[in-house]
Amino acid sequence: MHFGITNAKIVGFITTFFLLVLSYILLFYNTQKLVNQSEYVDHTNRVITNLEYLQSENKEIEYNYRGYIAVRNEDFRSRFYTSVKRTDSLFDLLRKLLNDKVSGIETNPVQYKRLDTIKAVLDEKVKSFTSGLELYALVKDPAKYKDSLSTVNYTGKLGTFRRQVKLMQYFESGLLAARSEKANNFSSSIKVINSVSLVIAFLLAISSFLTYRRENKAREEADEKSELYKEELETRVKELAEANKEIRELRNIEKFASTGRIARTIAHEVRNPLTNINLAAEQLKESLPENDDNNMLLDMVKRNSLRINQLISNLLNATKFSELTFEKVSVNEVIDHALEFANDRINLKHIKVEKHYETGACKIAVDEEKIKIAFLNIIVNAVEAMEADKGILRITTEALNKKCRITFEDNGIGMNEETVTKLFEPFFTNKDNGNGLGLTNTQNIILNHKGRIEVDSEEGKGTKFIILLDTEES
């Protein structure tokens, strides 16, 4: 039973589809015919219009001729010859129009003969007028010929001219009426076809709507279940992302604590023998005879010993939890102070700094000097990563959920994923003259303030440092 109903629906849709296709084919056919008839109508209008222009130019020729004879002004003579040229162009255009098959018929010999008659009459008139003008221009006593030339009359010929023009216009007007009627018929056909198509489309729409309502309920239920599952999945993903973020933070803290323990162990294990080396070097310097070679070697031992000791001190300072002196400050002011310390570097590379500060909301309780060092390390790294004259450092502060979020974003060279994972490790650096402890120290300061620091970077697209610190209200 269901199979039979489905087949009936398919047959109904196919039948409706073919009816629509047939109506559109008929519509296209009639539209094309209407376009053709419109071209025919336009063609006939052009013929009638140019015949009107021809009559107008004929009057202009006579007017300018009589005007020149009356006042002997060269402007009339010039306009006379201009009108003669226009009539020649109009005759050429009319011949082309009468020969043009867009008219829907072959060249009409009667119309063509009428046009030749009109041209012959006008040519004779122009020839007579031209002779009169040339004669009148040469005579020394114009008054003697003025009356005779001004009374040149072509009443009979002009009657032939006007009559032939009227006959041509009547013929073209008949064509225009017939073609306009055809165009109206095609237009009426198009209206009928459009109405039928609209009815078919309306019936098809009703049928489709009823079919849709009958079969859509199960789909809506499936979509609702899918949406619920999607929302649940998105919630799980968010929870997982938050959990992963917390795990990363715990790992960073654990990693930082392990680094500190290792640093203290190394410092203890290295400084004891280093002290012995320094004492031995001093002993040797006193016991050995003085000469340049001995002094050079002992100074080398002492200098490198001091360098190792300084590296250990820097490592300890970058990884130990130090005592903090808390005070309530505006994070915007702290950033501005850090920018002042980096101002020389910024100006040297012509870096553009864009500030998007939260106004009066981000008050934090921190050790100002240490937080300033942390911000300065990030700013310096950003400046060094950007190209001169093209760098943009965007600094944003905003308050959310009793936290102050500070974002440092540059359009520098960026970093790959491996570099990002090692970024806060001691002595890890991509700089030729870096010691690899700046960002380690920055992380230490942020963690000491129970804050959070995140890095988002991609090669060729810049780097973003995001710092979260508690506000004074929390």
Mean pLDDT, rounded, for 345-350: 91
| Cα–Cα distance, 112 to 109 (Å, whole number) | 5
What pLDDT was estimated at residue 1?
Answer: 46
What pLDDT was estimated at residue 337?
Answer: 92
Q: What percentage of residues in the chain have a pLDDT greater than 70?
A: 74
What pLDDT was estimated at residue 156?
Answer: 45
User: What is the chain's mean pLDDT, rounded?
Assistant: 77
Q: pLDDT tens digit string along 58-77?
A: 888 888 888 887 777 888 88
- Out of 29-43, 182-196, 325-339, 354-368, the most confident range is 325-339
Q: Give the gyration radius of the chain's Cα atoms.
A: 50
| 376: Cβ contacts below 8 Å, ≥ 6 apart | 338, 341, 342
Q: pLDDT tens digit string along 169-193?
A: 777 777 777 777 776 776 777 777 7
Q: pLDDT tens digit string along 397-443?
A: 998 888 899 999 999 999 998 888 888 887 777 776 666 777 888 88
CATH 3.30.565.10 fits 327-470, yes or no: yes
- Confidence grade of residue 269 (pLDDT, cut at 50, 70, 90): low
Q: Provide the whole-model pTM.
A: 0.45
Residue type, 265: T
The full set of domain ranges for the chain reads 2-216, 229-319, 327-470
What pLDDT was estimated at residue 155?
Answer: 45
What pLDDT was estimated at residue 322?
Answer: 64
Which overall architecture, per CATH, does domain 229-319 show?
Orthogonal Bundle (1.10)
| Cα–Cα distance, 61 to 79 (Å, whole number) | 8
Q: pLDDT tens digit string along 20-62?
A: 677 667 767 667 766 666 777 777 888 888 888 888 888 888 8
Q: What percentage of residues in the chain have a pLDDT greater than 90?
A: 15
Buried b (16+ CB within 10 A) or exposed e, 134-147: eebeeeeeeeeeee
pLDDT > 50? residue 90 = yes
Q: Are strands 352-356 and 392-400 parallel, antiparallel or unpaired?
A: parallel
Mean pLDDT, rounded, for 14-25: 73
Q: Residue 472 is encoded by which pair of tokens? A: 């004074």
